[in-house]
Amino acid sequence: MRVFKQIPLYRFLDFCNTSSLEKTVLDCGAGGVNPPLSLFAEHGFNTTGVEFDSKQLKRASEFGVNNGQALGVVQGDMRELSFQDESISFVYSYNSVFHMKKVDVKKSVDEMIRVLKPGGLLFVNFLTTNDFRCGEGPCVGPNEYEQMDDEPVIHSYYEPNEADIYFEDMEVLFKEDRVLERIYEGDRIRQGFVDYILRKRMD
């Protein structure tokens, strides 16, 4: 069985598997060569994903074809999701939503919550100010920096409790402020993340 590098999503999957809701899941930021939607497909979920970048979308589509999985990844913008209110049981965004300014992060989180069914579960994570790259590059807002990946990309960094305000109407099931140290291209780097697993309250 394939092991995916997005390890925190295994915990989210475990939460989803204990829910009685229909097994529908949406990935916001679903592109890449090893899309974790495949993990959910392996566990019997009806999968859908949105990806803004056409190159990453193509890579995810190729993965699905090569592995016999209809992952349902389409081009889209998580700031304006084209799904009906309260239509999806489980929604996640892994290492994706912070690639924009915080005003757009808020729009994206609001959209994820909007499409989530009552009682549905949300996973989302954010870069924190404990990350080694926080402060690098041109500053474009409060702890918002334009930094170079394959091309210039905005990264927004959060204090560990800063994003709590996004989820005032949600039930927090799990929250972890984590710092990772690893070797990257010969250098020891420090990465900071805060992960949330939340339940949308029943009306």
Integer-rounded Cα Rg, in Å, for the chain is 16
Residue written as tokens 């924009």? 100
Q: Are 56 and 31 contacting, i.e. CB atoms less than 8 angstroms apart?
A: yes
Q: Which two tokens stand for residue 70?
A: 């209809």
Q: Homologous superfamily of 8-129+159-200 in CATH?
A: Vaccinia Virus protein VP39 (3.40.50.150)
Q: Which residues of 168-180 are buried (b: 16+ CB within 10 A; e: fewer)?
A: eebeeeeeeeeee
Q: What is the pLDDT of residue 43?
A: 95
CA 181 to chain centre: 21
pLDDT for 186 equals 87
Sign of CA dihedral 111, 113, 118, 123: positive
Digit-by-digit pLDDT tens for the chain (203 residues) are: 688 999 999 999 999 999 999 999 999 999 999 999 999 999 999 999 999 999 999 999 999 999 999 999 999 999 999 999 999 999 999 999 999 999 999 999 999 999 999 999 999 999 999 999 999 999 999 999 999 887 899 999 999 999 999 999 999 999 999 999 998 888 899 999 999 999 999 87
Cα–Cα distance between 42 and 63 in angstroms, integer? 14
Residues 75, 57: contact at Cβ < 8 Å?
Answer: yes
The single-letter code of the amino acid at 89 is: S
What string of DSSP letters covers 59-119? HHHHHHHHTT----EEE--TTS--S-TT-EEEEEE-S-TTSS-HHHHHHHHHHHHHHEEEE
Per-residue confidence (pLDDT) for residue 10, from 0 to 100: 97
Catalogue the long-range contacts made by 10-18 (C-beta closer than 8 Å, 24 or more residues apart).
Answer: 10/39, 11/174, 11/197, 12/90, 12/92, 12/121, 12/123, 12/197, 13/39, 13/40, 13/43, 15/121, 15/173, 15/174, 15/197, 16/40, 16/45, 16/89, 16/90, 16/121, 17/43
Q: What is the pLDDT of residue 2?
A: 82
Given the DSSP bridges, would you call strands 46-51 and 24-28 parallel, antiparallel or unpaired? parallel
